[in-house]
Amino acid sequence: MTDTRKSLAELGIVDAVQLEALFAALREEFDRAAAEARDGTEWEALRVAWAGRKAGKLRQITENWLKPAPPELKRAVGQHLNELRAHLEATLAKPPQAGAAAVAAAEAERVDLSLPGIERYLGVRHILSQVLDEIQQIFLRIGFTVVDGPEIETPYYNFEALNMPADHPARDMWDTLYVETPRPGELLLRTHTSPMQIRWMEEHQPPVRIIVPGKVYRHDNPDATHAFAFYQVEGLAVDTDITFCDFRGVMDYFVKEFFGPKVKTRLQPSYFPFTEPSADVYGSCFVCEGAGCRLCKQSGWIELCGAGMVDPAVYGFVGYDAKKFSGFAFGMGVERMAMLKYGINDIQLFFQNDVRFLRQFR
């Protein structure tokens, strides 16, 4: 607190700059005291302390600073004193309402229990995990088992045992990434999940009903519909009396479960070295319901997966009797399924991990 009972000389004030600081400090002291006054009694005490006629600070300043001030400071002291007085009078003219400060303090701490809380974002499973799960559940319901296999494969499983000998032109259907090994060409990143057909049949006798979800790799340039790593779900069913009708029925069941009961299926002749006959499975366009739109390129149909009856030649590689057993296989792209189902137009979105994209799928 500035002691207004001492003279300027005693306070060590000798020039205008010091004087200005002195009055600024005083004004601050007053403002602080005014802000702290809670009720009428305290306000009156404040008034007496500062503006009291007999011993208020204004009075003391007049007596102890102004009157004995050296001539060169006198004018400035007078001016500062007048300003301070005007400020005090203006402030003291508006006493706080009884309890106003207390009310304001309580108001600031008030909790409105009716306000909705701040939502905490918990995170979601990646949309691909969700779709993979859904596909698996659909097949589990009709007796398929989920198995998985290695992503690094040998050309034997990826090609040869799938009825594609070395230099078979059909190997070009998959742009293959090879692993660098001492003898080049020994290992590759599987280009599809079909190698697991072979691995499973090598070790198990029919009946076979498996699906194989997993990552596959292709030497493709990334764009809106291509990625060098993506997911597939392979399916394989082999038994003594499996017909093309079973194949068709299972495809139809899956498509209706996954995309909705209104979606129809259609098979179109295709070619894979390990299926005979081969078919591409199409679903009727679920956007335009067959009328023709951008998604189905005006055809009314959307390609969903490659499939077919297992080629008897494949049974030769796993020691099955091709006269006794028959079956079907299919392979679908998981990203493609998700893109179709949720209207996603760029496959790269799955891998960029932009939370604004991922959060949409709760």
- Comparing CB distances to ligand PHE, the nearer of 26 and 314 is 314
- Comparing CB distances to ligand PHE, the nearer of 283 and 308 is 308
Residue environment code for 46-72, b if the CB has 16+ CB neighbours within 10 A, otherwise e: bbeebbbeeebbbebbbebbeeebeee
Q: Does position 330 bind ligand PHE by CB under 6 A?
A: yes
- Comparing CB distances to ligand PHE, the nearer of 30 and 350 is 350
- Binding segment (CB under 6 A) for ligand PHE, from list 95-103, 140-148, 199-207, 300-308: 300-308
Q: Find tokens 């070790």 and name the residue.
A: 203
- Choosing from 131, 132, 329, 358, the residue that interacts with ligand PHE (CB under 6 A) is 329
Measuring CA to CA, how many Å separate 351 from each of 125, 133, 335, 355? Answer: 14, 18, 10, 11
- Comparing CB distances to ligand PHE, the nearer of 22 and 211 is 211
- Binding segment (CB under 6 A) for ligand PHE, from list 28-36, 102-110, 259-267, 303-311: 303-311
DSSP letter at 64?
Answer: I
Cβ neighbour number for residue 356 with a 10 Å cutoff: 6
To ligand PHE, the closest distance from the beta carbon of 130 in angstroms equals 22
CB burial class (10 A; 0-12, 13-18, 19+) of residue 241? exposed
To ligand PHE, the closest distance from the beta carbon of 335 in angstroms equals 13
Q: Does position 327 bind ligand PHE by CB under 6 A?
A: no
To ligand PHE, the closest distance from the beta carbon of 260 in angstroms equals 24
Q: Find tokens 């400035």 and name the residue.
A: 76
Q: Does position 307 bind ligand PHE by CB under 6 A?
A: yes
- Binding segment (CB under 6 A) for ligand PHE, from list 13-21, 26-34, 295-303, 324-332: 324-332
Give me the residue whose beta carbon is nearest to ligand PHE. Answer: 331
Q: In whole angstroms, what is the distance from residue 83 CA to residue 210 CA?
A: 92
Q: Find tokens 């403002």 and name the residue.
A: 31
> Which x/- pattern, by CB under 6 A, does the window 85-114 give for ligand PHE?
------------------------------
Q: Find tokens 């979105």 and name the residue.
A: 349
- Is residue 41 within 8 A of residue 49, CB to CB? The reply is no
Amino acid at 24: A
- Is residue 80 within 8 A of residue 68, CB to CB? The reply is no
- Comparing CB distances to ligand PHE, the nearer of 213 and 306 is 306
Name the residue among 132, 173, 180, 174 with its Cα closest to residue 152. Answer: 180
- Binding segment (CB under 6 A) for ligand PHE, from list 44-52, 143-151, 327-335, 338-346: 327-335
Number of residues that bind ligand PHE (CB under 6 A): 11
Q: Find tokens 């760029």 and name the residue.
A: 346
Q: Does position 176 bind ligand PHE by CB under 6 A?
A: no
Q: Does position 308 bind ligand PHE by CB under 6 A?
A: yes
- Comparing CB distances to ligand PHE, the nearer of 307 and 344 is 307
Cβ neighbour number for residue 236 with a 10 Å cutoff: 24
Q: Which of residues 270-289 bind ligand PHE (CB under 6 A)?
A: 272, 275
- Is residue 227 within 8 A of residue 351, CB to CB? The reply is yes
> Which x/- pattern, by CB under 6 A, does the window 182-211 give for ligand PHE?
----------x-x-----------------
- Choosing from 155, 195, 273, 331, the residue that interacts with ligand PHE (CB under 6 A) is 331
Q: How does strand 152-153 pair with strand 208-217?
A: unpaired
| Structure-token pair, residue 90 | 């203006």
Binding site for ligand PHE (CB under 6 A): 192, 194, 234, 272, 275, 306-308, 329-331
